[in-house]
Amino acid sequence: MLDDDARTTALSSVVLQLHRGCRTWPAVAFQSRACELLSEVLPFDAGIWGTENVAAQRVVALVPYGVPDHMWASYLTQGSAGDPLLAAARAAPGAAVALNFNTLAVPVDGGAAAAPPHFFGSHGWAYGLAMTQIEPLSKLRAFFCVWRQAAGQPFDALDQQLLQFVMPHLMETARESQLSRATAGADAPAAPRSHAVCDRMGVTQHLDDRCLALLRLEWPQWSGGVLPAPLVQAVQQPEPALFVGRRIAVRLVVNDDAVLLAVRLRAACDRLSARQRSIADLYASGCTGPEIAQRLGLAASTVNNHLGEVFKKLQVSSKVQLARVLHGSGV
C-alpha cells in the first residue's frame, strides 16, 4: 500500500494518463486500461463499470473487470438486479459507498429482490466500494463498483475520498473515448477537429495528442516547438483563415496575440476555390442561381458554371447532398 504522499502523486499521474489515454487508446480497451491504472492507487481485485437510463430503469452498458466468467454469468442472471452495493450507491448519488458483504442481512421471504451476501461470499468477495453520478450531458447515470477478496482489507474513508475525486474524470474520459470510437469510421468531413494554440510567430503553446498526429500526417518530420513553415506563413497573414494541405485542413482564429488552430483531415469541399465555396454556401442555404448572381455581382452563366464545377468536385447531385457535405466539413 502506498503512503499518502506517494498515493497523491500516483493519483495525479493516473488522472493525467486517463485524459491522454481517452484520445489515444483503442476505445474498446479504454475501460480495462483505466481500471488497471486506478488499481495502482486504489487497490481492488475486480468490479463493474456501467451506465443506466434512470427514467427507463434500464442498464445501457455494463462492463466487467477482473470478474471470472462463471461469476459474471451468475451475476447477470442472479445478482445484478439486487446488488446491495450498487443499490446503496444509487441511494447516495455523488458519494462513494463502502460495504462489508459479510455483515449484510439476508433478505426475508417476500422482501424486495436483492443479492444475498452469500452471492459475493461464495465467489470470494468480502468488501465493496461504489459510486454513482449523473452524466450532465446525456443524463445517464454512471456507476463504478469494485470489490476486494476476503483476504484483503475493507475499503476505508480514504478509499472513498479517492473514488469521489476520480469518478468525474472516469466519466468524462469514458465519454471522450466513446466519441472517438463513434467517429472512428466516419468520413473525413465528419471527422472531429483537434486543437492547438500558438502565438503570431507560430510558437506552439498548447497541442493535444490528436492534433500532433494530424500535423505529423502532413509533415512527418515535424518535431514540434514552432509550427511547420507553411502554417507559420498562414498564421502571419493579416487575416488568417484557412490552410489546406495535402492531408489536413486547418482553420485559424485570431484572439489578440493568440491563434487557435482547429485541425482536421482534409475533406472533399476543400477542393473548392474561394469563389466556388461562397457560391456553394449560398446555394446550399437556399438561394437560387439568379439571387447568387445578383448578390455577388456575377453573370448568371458564371454562377451556373461554378455550381457545375462544385457538383462535379464534391460528387453530389442535389442541393440537399451539397448542404450535407458542406455542413459535415465543419469549415
Q: Which position has the grid cell 454512471?
A: 142
Mean pLDDT of 257-269: 84
What per-residue confidence (pLDDT) applies to 329?
Answer: 52
- Each residue of 45-70: pLDDT tens digit? 999 998 887 876 778 788 899 998 88
Q: Could you give the 3-state DSSP secondary structure of residue 5?
A: helix
Mean pLDDT of 2-12: 78
> What does pTM read for this prediction?
0.59
CATH topology of domain 269-329: Arc Repressor Mutant, subunit A (1.10.10)
4-183 and 188-266 have identical folds:
no
Nearby residues of 41 by Cβ (< 8 Å), 6 or more positions away: 2, 7, 10, 11, 14, 162
Question: 224, exposed or middle or buried, with CB in 10 Å at 0-12, 13-18, 19+?
Answer: exposed
Q: With CA atoms as reference, report the closest residue to 35 among 82, 9, 67.
A: 67
What per-residue confidence (pLDDT) applies to 188?
Answer: 40
From CA 203, how far away is CA 205, in angstroms rounded?
A: 7
Q: What is the DSSP letter of 57?
A: T
Taking the alpha carbons at both ends of the chain, their separation in whole angstroms is 51
From CA 305, how far away is CA 316, in angstroms rounded?
A: 15
Share of the chain above pLDDT 70, in %: 86
Mean pLDDT, the chain, rounded, equals 83
Q: Write out the CATH class of domain 188-266.
A: alpha beta
Q: Which position has the grid cell 456507476?
A: 143
What per-residue confidence (pLDDT) applies to 43?
Answer: 93
Q: Could you give the 3-state DSSP secondary structure of residue 177?
A: helix
Strand-strand pairing, 97-100 and 58-65: unpaired
Q: Which position has the grid cell 491504472?
A: 37
Q: Among the listed ranges 75-79, 139-143, 145-149, 202-206, which one has the minimum average pLDDT value?
A: 75-79
Residues in the chain: 331
**Domain 4-183: homologous superfamily in CATH:** Transcription factor LuxR-like, autoinducer-binding domain (3.30.450.80)
**What H or E segment, with its residue span, contains residue 249?**
strand 248-255
Residue 94's CB: how many other CB atoms inside 10 A?
Answer: 12
Strand-strand pairing, 194-199 and 204-207: antiparallel
User: Taking a C-beta distance cutoff of 8 angstroms, is the pair 244, 270 a contact?
Assistant: yes
Say whether pLDDT at 4 is over 60: yes
Say whether pLDDT at 245 is over 70: yes
Q: Among the listed ranges 80-84, 192-196, 320-324, which one has the minimum average pLDDT value?
A: 192-196
Amino acid in the structure at residue 103? T
User: Taking a C-beta distance cutoff of 8 angstroms, is the pair 140, 60 a contact?
Assistant: yes
Q: How confident is the model at residue 111 (pLDDT cuts 50, 70, 90)?
A: very low
Mean pLDDT of 306-331: 81
Give the bridge partners for 242, in sequence order.
Answer: 251
Residue ranges per domain, the chain?
A: 4-183, 188-266, 269-329
Mean pLDDT of 76-89: 81
